[in-house]
Amino acid sequence: MSLFWQSGGSELPSSPRLRILLLGASGFVGGGLWTSLRPRHEVVGTFATRPIAGLVHVDLRDERRLAALVADGFDLVVHAAGLVPLEAAEADPELAHRLNVRPVEVLLDAVRGSAAKLVLLSSDNVFDGTRHQYTEEDPRSPVNVYGRTKAAAEDLLLADGGHLILRIPLVFGRGPWSNTFLARLAGPTTTARTDLVCAPVYLPSLGPALARLWDRKGVVHYGGSDVVTRFELMSGVRQALDLPTRVVAAHGPEAHSACRRPPRLVLRSTRHRLLGPGLDSALAHLAGLPPA
């Protein structure tokens, strides 16, 4: 079976060559999108604190610079920048708002009246994790600061209309330069929770999925096929890459974490038929094995 993310036919044959501004290209998700989208599109990517050759600098708080950059004639503005670690957002809600909400207002003002469409990378953390699964129609109820900022940013786009909110779950894999996911497995032991359930998405599948969904409007969910615990995911990645870490099962939040995490986040879509690759094929790809 040829999976859409591996087939090279990551896009419909008629998909046009787009001029894309990719905010946060220096990050984990942005790096994956950069790799996927560059062969078919003209992509201008940005960094903030981690200079990378070929990317341009922008700080989301420099509103004039951000607006000027966006005004440079793009078809798509993909927004994958901001404050992402949940604990950091919880510790500084004002900073989280300044990085995750306010820039979206600036971006909307900047694209208004132009042909550019905004794509916001949002999160399953807009839900509280008490339902079996979540579709685009389900009401949001974030339980942490990060989730609340993502919901607030979504509201801005929804009020404006015409733009796309791509909600994604935990992303795993190897980025071209930023590896915030694999960094969790860097120590001699890796603690992973057995009571947090997710349907994680494999990074290389994200660009091809976006390429199939970019002309939608409103909210779209893109989840992985398999539903697993964090412990199962981390153990699978450890094994696939033969990493020198011991994955230790844990139950309940770490003592020092003040951040609430939704217990079960499974994103499903009623608006399209795309699901990310299953864990086995993703792990085989990560390990460099040929597809089954």
Ligand X SMILES: NC(=O)c1ccc[n+]([C@@H]2O[C@H](COP(=O)([O-])OP(=O)(O)OC[C@H]3O[C@@H](n4cnc5c(N)ncnc54)[C@H](OP(=O)(O)O)[C@@H]3O)[C@@H](O)[C@H]2O)c1
Establish if 33 lies at the interface with ligand X (CB under 6 A).
Answer: no
Contact with ligand X (CB under 6 A): which of 22, 24, 142, 197?
24
Closest residue (Cβ) to ligand X? 27
Residues in 165-204 at the binding interface with ligand X, rule: CB under 6 A: 168, 170-171, 178, 180
| C-alpha Rg value of the chain to the nearest Å | 18
Establish if 123 lies at the interface with ligand X (CB under 6 A).
Answer: yes
- Helical ranges in the chain per DSSP H: 28-37, 63-70, 86-91, 93-100, 102-111, 145-160, 206-213, 230-241, 279-286
Pattern 37-56, ligand X, x by CB under 6 A:
----------xxxx------
Helix (H) or strand (E) holding 197: strand 197-198
Nearer to ligand X, 61 or 272 (CB): 61
- Residue 126 Cα distances to 57, 86, 150, angstroms: 29, 12, 7
- Catalytic annotation present for 146: yes
Nearer to ligand X, 116 or 203 (CB): 203
* CA distance linking residue 274 with residue 207, whole number of Å: 13
Contact with ligand X (CB under 6 A): which of 22, 80, 116, 211?
80
Burial of 72 (0-12, 13-18, 19+ CB in 10 A): exposed
CB of 143 to ligand X, least distance (A): 15
Q: Who contacts 191 (Cβ-Cβ below 8 Å, separation ≥6)?
A: 248, 250, 254
Among 134, 146, 202, 222, the one annotated catalytic: 146
The footprint of ligand X (CB under 6 A) covers: 24, 26-30, 47-50, 58-61, 80-82, 84, 99, 121, 123, 168, 170-171, 178, 180
Q: Which residues belong to the active site?
A: 146
